């Protein structure tokens, strides 16, 4: 199932009605919105950490941006569904690269790797993504 199908279902439309270019643009928009929602959730999970360190909003944003992939990887690992080796296999990425991202040594992974770990995260945190999709759909339906 493509990433667009569940969202289109929530909107009451069929993704096949869109051209290939429109589907690409919609998927890019969805990806950006999902990342924004994930950062919002991560910010909420880290609020005590940010408070102790007396981070400003700008510092929080910078930390979330530079550690986004690492935090997603840590959440996948916390489910015990995947190991670093399993993530490397799923994403077709060398295990050293996955380890570098997971340990914070690589804060700028490729867009393809980021997309693949978010797809994997979506499979281990299905309920979270259902709620994110519903929230996004509600926001767009209210426009």
Cα Rg of the chain (Å, integer): 16
**pLDDT-based confidence at residue 8 (cuts at 50, 70, 90):** low
Is there a contact between 90 and 82 (Cβ–Cβ < 8 Å)?
yes
CA distances, 41 to each of 72, 91, 99, 107 (Å): 11, 24, 23, 19
Specify the residue for token string 């790797």.
113
Positive or negative: CA dihedral 64, 69, 74, 76: positive
Of 54, 58, 75, nearest to 66 by C-alpha is: 58
> Could you read off the pLDDT of 18-58 as tens digits, one per residue?
888 988 888 888 899 999 999 999 999 999 999 999 999 99
7 or 30, which is more confident: 30
pLDDT, residue 29, reads 87
Rounded to 5°, angle at Cα 79 from 77 and 82? 50
pLDDT band at 13 (very low <50, low <70, confident <90, very high): low
pLDDT at 23: 81
Six token digits for residue 114: 């980021």
Q: Examine the pLDDT at 5 and tell me if it is beyond 70.
A: no
List, for residues 92-124, the tens digit of each pLDDT value.
999 999 999 999 999 999 999 999 999 999 999
């Amino acid at each position: 199932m493509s990433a667009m199908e569940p969202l289109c279902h929530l909107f009451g439309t069929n993704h096949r009605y869109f051209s290939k270019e429109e589907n690409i643009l919609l998927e890019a928009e969805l990806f950006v919105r999902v990342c924004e929602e994930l950062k919002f959730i991560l910010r909420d999970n880290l609020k005590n950490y940010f408070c102790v360190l007396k981070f400003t909003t700008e510092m929080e944003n910078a930390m979330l941006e530079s550690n986004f992939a690492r935090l997603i990887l840590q959440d996948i690992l916390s489910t015990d569904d995947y190991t670093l080796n399993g993530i490397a296999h799923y994403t077709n990425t060398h295990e050293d690269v996955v380890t570098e991202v997971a340990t914070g040594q690589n804060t700028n992974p490729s867009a393809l790797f980021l997309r693949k770990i978010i797809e994997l995260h979506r499979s281990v945190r299905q309920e979270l993504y259902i709620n994110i999709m519903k929230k996004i759909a509600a926001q767009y339906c209210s426009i």
